[in-house]
Structure 1
Amino acid sequence: MTPPTTRTWSRRGHTPEIRVRGRSRRRLSVAALACYKTGEPSRLMYRPYPDARPDGRKSFSWKDYRHLIQAAHQQLGGPIVLVWDNLNTHLSADMRRYIADRDWLTVSPLPPYSPDLNPVEGIWSVLRRTTTAHHAFADPADLNTAVRRGLRQLQYRPDILNGCLTGTGLRHQPP
């Protein structure tokens, strides 16, 4: 809920200010998959979860990631090679069992502490610099709406998604 700041322009001697009434600890958790397939436009799939969930959980569980992976499998209609970071939820025993039971799912972990190899980190950077920059959110619903709108706009920009992959140094052949 605390607005991120970035650079902006103003008249010389007039520093722009955004006043924020206190610091809220409320947040929005988002999981995303950047999907790349040779000969097809890049795709972005995501699931946002507010911190006020019915089960009281403030972060994604392995079941939430499972639902996202299953939705991706249904939409993409083929095998998935999932490259992800070493988040403890990704490495849980339940998640490992789920992955082992799916012949269409192959997982390759990123090396520890390597956000520069994760294209989704580039997507978060773009979102912070565009949609949420210089915005003081009135309430959690306002934050949720802004993030969803920003991610929806990125879904229609495969050039930006390709740029996030290119920024990792990994190869991708755009359509």
Structure 2
Amino acid sequence: MAALCCYKPGERSRLDYRPKRHTDHKSGGRMSFAWTEYRDLLIAAHQQLGGPIVPYWDNLNFHKDRRMRAFIDAHDWLTVDLNPGEGIWSVLRRTSRANTAFTDRDHLIRRLRHSLRQIQYRSDIIDGCLTATGLTLTTPRPQPQ
């Protein structure tokens, strides 16, 4: 599962995510997302948000990939920093995935999708992940009416 917490000044926070079903890696399938799949997620987020994006990453191997670095360097709408999305996985580990023995991949994916949908538009949770990085939004959020 790959996910981006999306923040745009003056708008509600949102979560964009992509699940991936892996083929059996012993038969030649990938065990993780390819750098191109992360690149495509960034492009989709850029198009949906209609402006520059700043993904905040951890030290995943694709973050260090020379092709990803070249892609980042070639696009002025893209800047990379620390990841508030890591907080989403922390929430999931304490809630939907806690003490669960998944029966198969489909069970895991169903549970993750359900859990992600529950928090997808919960600005309080998503904003808490931003706060945990020490970052802030520069423009106040619109208040619910």
The TM-score bracket by the shorter chain reads 0.7 to 0.9
The gaps in structure 2 that reach 5 residues or longer are: none
How many Å separate the matches in 2 of 1:133 and 1:147?
Answer: 11
Greater helix share, 1 or 2? 2
CA RMSD of aligned residues (A): 1.9
Correspondence 1:10-49 to 2 at 5 A: 30-49=1-20
Is 2:129 aligned against 1:164?
A: yes
How many Å separate the matches in 2 of 1:151 and 1:133?
Answer: 14
Alpha-carbon contact 1:120-1:164 (below 8 Å) kept: yes
Greater strand share, 1 or 2? 1
| Paired letter, 2:136 | R
Q: TM-score of the superposition, structure 2-length normalised?
A: 0.84
Shift of 1:131: 1.5
Question: Which residue does 1:102 correspond to in 2?
Answer: 75
Shift of 1:39: 1.2
Q: 1:174 aligns with which of 127, 130, 141?
A: 141
Give the total of aligned pairs. Answer: 138
Question: Which residue does 1:143 correspond to in 2?
Answer: 108
Question: Which residue does 1:56 correspond to in 2?
Answer: 29
SS at 1:126 equivalent:
helix
The gaps in structure 1 that reach 5 residues or longer are: 1-29, 111-117
Alpha-carbon contact 1:31-1:48 (below 8 Å) kept: yes
Q: TM-score of the superposition, structure 1-length normalised?
A: 0.71
Larger radius of gyration: 1
